């Protein structure tokens, strides 16, 4: 199998390379933009056939100058929830994805891509990935909106039976060290917890949520890439699917799991959420996995505490798979 993985040096992309290598797949063209990021380290111990920068790759695609692959897994995107350059998001996340999808569909190449749970906004419409609900979603930031635009483009053009999308929820795990503010709380807090023996969490600004009781669907990256790999093995299964656990946990529970994994007494300090994100903050997310299960995905997820412990144990001596 010859696979193209965009975003292959990134967080989920490089973990997918790890998974593919475990399965004996090494004929992989990795596409990314390395710039001055340290994420090149995610590629050092991976086995792949070639690497190309994302702009050069798209030019080759548009010029029909690439060797036809058996599959394209498009995970490359700007995932910042604080960047406000809408033009960049549209070009990088939406228009780039459209061009690559059109190439894949024209050449009958299975096309898998990353959407996001950020499309759900505040969750007013729930967290169903059924197609009829996708039209009703109201993302809170331009990142989520750029993902929503592409999902809607797929639906408007009747392509839902030709592509496979993944609405990733709060993914955490190895290889995210380069993401800065977009790292998981586990990754961002690990060193500080060891040094200061406390963790800092946002205060709540809603009466129905106590401090630290905001809930998220945290999904371990090893689970996430297992689900993606299921669809790599079954390319005729198309549609847009949630990738979460359907079992939300509070930030306080996450903190307890971290301290338990480190065998330290729990100490939480709550601090003010920046005003710039207070009206865009998701207080609850939880994936509806009904559609995923109907597609035949019977994957058993890591138990929450065990996933956190597995990652914390890893962080003690590593930062990337």
Q: How far is CA 208 from CA 204, 213, 278, in A?
A: 9, 9, 15
Q: How far is CA 180 from CA 23, 86, 189, 243, in A?
A: 30, 20, 12, 23
What pLDDT does 321 receive? Answer: 53
Q: Determine what percent of the chain is predicted with pLDDT higher than 70.
A: 98
The whole-angstrom separation of Cα 143 and Cα 90 is 9
What pLDDT does 304 receive? Answer: 97
The length of the chain in residues reads 321
What pLDDT does 180 receive? Answer: 84
Residues catalogued as catalytic: 143, 179
The whole-angstrom separation of Cα 42 and Cα 223 is 18
The whole-angstrom separation of Cα 268 and Cα 205 is 17
Phi, psi (deg, nearest 5) at residue 283: -90, -20
What pLDDT does 182 receive? Answer: 83
The whole-angstrom separation of Cα 265 and Cα 77 is 38
What pLDDT does 92 receive? Answer: 84
Report helix, strand or coil for 113. strand
Q: What is the pLDDT of residues 7-57, one digit of tens each?
A: 999 999 999 999 999 999 999 999 999 988 899 999 999 999 999 999 999
The whole-angstrom separation of Cα 76 and Cα 7 is 4
Q: Do 251 and 214 contact (CB within 8 A), yes or no?
A: yes
Q: Which domains does the chain have, with CATH numbers?
A: 3-172+218-246+285-302 (3.40.50.720)
Low-confidence ranges of the chain (pLDDT < 70): 81-82, 319-321
């Amino acid at each position: 199998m010859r696979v193209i993985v965009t975003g292959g040096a990134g967080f989920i992309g490089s973990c997918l390379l790890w998974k593919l290598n475990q399965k004996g797949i090494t004929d992989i063209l990795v596409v990314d933009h390395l710039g001055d990021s340290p994420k090149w380290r995610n590629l050092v111990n991976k086995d792949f056939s070639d690497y190309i920068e994302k702009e050069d790759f798209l030019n080759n695609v548009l010029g029909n100058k690439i060797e036809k692959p058996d599959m394209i897994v498009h995970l490359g995107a700007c995932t910042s929830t604080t960047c406000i350059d809408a033009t960049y998001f549209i070009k990088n996340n939406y228009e780039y994805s459209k061009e690559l999808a059109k190439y894949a569909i024209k050449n009958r190449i299975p096309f898998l891509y990353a959407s996001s749970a950020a499309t759900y906004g505040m969750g007013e419409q729930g967290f169903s990935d059924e197609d009829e609900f996708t039209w009703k979603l109201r993302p809170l930031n331009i990142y989520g909106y750029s993902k929503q635009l592409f999902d809607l483009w797929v639906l408007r053009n009747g392509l839902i039976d030709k592509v496979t999308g993944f609405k990733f929820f709060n993914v955490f795990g190895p290889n995210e060290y380069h993401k800065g503010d977009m790292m998981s709380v586990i990754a961002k807090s690990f060193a500080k917890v060891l040094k200061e023996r406390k963790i800092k969490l946002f205060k709540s600004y809603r009466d129905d949520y106590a401090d630290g009781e905001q809930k998220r669907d945290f999904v371990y990256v090893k689970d996430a890439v297992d689900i993606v790999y299921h669809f790599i093995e079954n390319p005729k299964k198309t549609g847009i699917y949630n990738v979460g656990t359907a079992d939300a946990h509070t930030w306080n529970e996450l903190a307890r799991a971290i301290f338990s994994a480190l065998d330290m007494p729990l100490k939480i300090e709550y601090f003010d959420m920046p005003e710039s994100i207070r009206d865009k903050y998701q207080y609850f997310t939880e994936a509806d996995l009904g559609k995923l299960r109907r597609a035949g995905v019977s994957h058993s997820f890591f138990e929450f505490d065990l996933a956190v412990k597995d990652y914390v144990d890893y962080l003690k001596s590593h930062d990337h798979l």
